[in-house]
Amino acid sequence: MPKFIPRFDFPRYNIPIADFKGHQLKALRRFEKLKPQFHLVLELRDLRAPLSTRNVLLDQVVDKRHHERLVIYTKRDCFPSSSPYLDRLAQWHAELEENFLMVDSRHRNASNHILRCIHWHHELHREKNYGLAPPLGFKVLVTGMPNVGKSTLINSMRGSSGKVARTGSEAGVTRSTSESIKIGQDGNGVYLIDTPGVGLPARLSDANRMLALTLCGCVKRSLVDPWIQADYLLYLMNLQLPYGTDNIKEAERKLSTYPGALEEPTNDLEVVLNRLRRHPRESDTSVALRWLEEPRSGLVLDPELLLPCADFSMSQHVKQELKHARKAMRK
Ligand SMILES: Nc1nc2c(ncn2[C@@H]2O[C@H](COP(=O)(O)OP(=O)(O)OP(=O)(O)O)[C@@H](O)[C@H]2O)c(=O)[nH]1
Ligand SMILES: [Mg+2]
């Protein structure tokens, strides 16, 4: 039997390539105004799609002379405890000389860890300012694309002091930048600022990025036809099957929901939907939607990250993106 070959390219479907709303633009303007007030930026990204959920517009929020930035990857629970992909992510960050954490933002352990980092930055700030604490408290702006878990993390950090930020599974739950939210009972003067998720305008986005963001829930899922979303998911899953092996059982263990237990891998979405159909009259759309909703472990949603190490450099990617953004913003 011939070896299975995945698709290496995804067709360019005609889909909307952005979901950038007025309240997001307003949030960006508000960040500009708040710049003199905050000291640390927590930038949240989704661990499943670290490139697509890295927002170049948020680079402008950080003024390196006055602010520190800490990158936090949420949805850590979507990956097993160890994975070569996570090791590569650590290498890429070392290349960028950028600190990062990976957390499940719903958990108290995560928030305790981040709190320790915030206190460390607070202390550092105090040392730089001759031992003086900022008079209005140490303020931390919590930013990121929609639905990455900003409000969830703020609630976890508040712990027993109670939830203050509204959360939800659809993108765009937080609509305006919050007032300062105090954390901790001991009056150590740390305040968080919850913000609306900020996406990318069309000139900074493209179809594949939109698809990755849709699968992460960072844009409204209803914007893209479920059939196209499911086809993109199949494309990504097949790219992540172990190469040079027919061992589908191993592949299934890796991607817990590869469709059709022990059946041949396929690039044909029709075949997959037929395998998953529960009764003959169930429509393609409803099967696709059900499949998209299934939890899955260890699936990377940015295809660039699946390239061999020698073909991908994170620092190069970041530089190119910045260059492209500068050019696009000038137009
Ligand atoms: N599995 C998992 N789910 C998470 C994690 N963090 C947040 N969530 C879920 O992701 C969804 C979005 O969380 P929110 O906190 O509302 O996200 P947000 O970034 O504030 O979203 P906007 O306000 O729309 O920008 C919720 O259903 C959370 O329960 C995580 O680390 N792991
Ligand atoms: Mg929110």
> CB neighbours (10 Å) of residue 17?
22
Say which residues have a Cβ less than 8 Å from residue 239's Cβ, sequence separation at least 6: 6, 7, 8, 303, 306
Asked whether residue 218 is domain-assigned, the answer is no
Range of the domain at 31: 22-200
43 plus 184 within the same structural domain: yes
Backbone angles phi, psi at 98, to 5 degrees: -125, 130
- Residue with the bigger pLDDT between 320 and 243: it is 320
262 plus 133 within the same structural domain: no
* Distance from C-alpha of 127 to C-alpha of 135, rounded to nearest angstrom: 14
231 plus 193 within the same structural domain: no
191 plus 229 within the same structural domain: no
Total domains present in the chain: 2
Which DSSP state fits 260?
Answer: S
Ligand found nearest the CA of 47: 1
69 plus 156 within the same structural domain: yes
Burial 49-69 (b: 16+ CB within 10 A, else e): bbbbbbbbbbeebbeeeebbb
DSSP SS3 for 143: strand
229 plus 127 within the same structural domain: no
Reported as a pLDDT band with limits 50, 70 and 90, residue 283 is very high
Q: What's the CA-to-centroid distance between 101 and ligand 1, angstroms?
A: 16
Asked whether residue 304 is domain-assigned, the answer is yes
Q: What's the CA-to-centroid distance between 178 and ligand 2, angstroms?
A: 10
Cβ of residue 303 lying under 6 Å from some atom of ligand 1: no
Cβ of residue 171 lying under 6 Å from some atom of ligand 1: yes
Reported as a pLDDT band with limits 50, 70 and 90, residue 297 is confident
Q: What pLDDT, in 10s, does the model give residues 54-92?
A: 999 999 899 888 899 999 999 999 998 888 889 999 999
Of 290, 269, 330, 305, nearest to 93 by C-alpha is: 305
> CB neighbours (10 Å) of residue 185?
9
Which atom of ligand 1 sits closest to the CA of residue 172? 24
Evaluate the CA torsion angle 261, 262, 263, 267 in order and state its sign.
positive
Q: What's the CA-to-centroid distance between 148 and ligand 2, angstroms?
A: 8
Asked whether residue 307 is domain-assigned, the answer is yes
Asked whether residue 321 is domain-assigned, the answer is no
Q: What is the CA radius of gyration of the chain?
A: 21
Residues 119, 190: contact at Cβ < 8 Å? yes
DSSP H helix total and E strand total for the chain: 10, 6
132 plus 270 within the same structural domain: no
According to the model, what pLDDT value does residue 244 have? 46
* Distance from C-alpha of 155 to C-alpha of 162, rounded to nearest angstrom: 7
Which atom of ligand 1 sits closest to the CA of residue 152? 15
Which two three-digit tokens encode residue 45?
Answer: 């990204």
Reported as a pLDDT band with limits 50, 70 and 90, residue 245 is very low
Residue among 147, 213, 299 whose CB has most ligand 1 atoms within 8 A, to mutate: 147
154 plus 264 within the same structural domain: no
Q: What's the CA-to-centroid distance between 158 and ligand 2, angstroms?
A: 15
CATH number of the domain bearing residue 27: 3.40.50.300
Cβ of residue 74 lying under 6 Å from some atom of ligand 1: yes
Q: What's the CA-to-centroid distance between 121 and ligand 1, angstroms?
A: 25
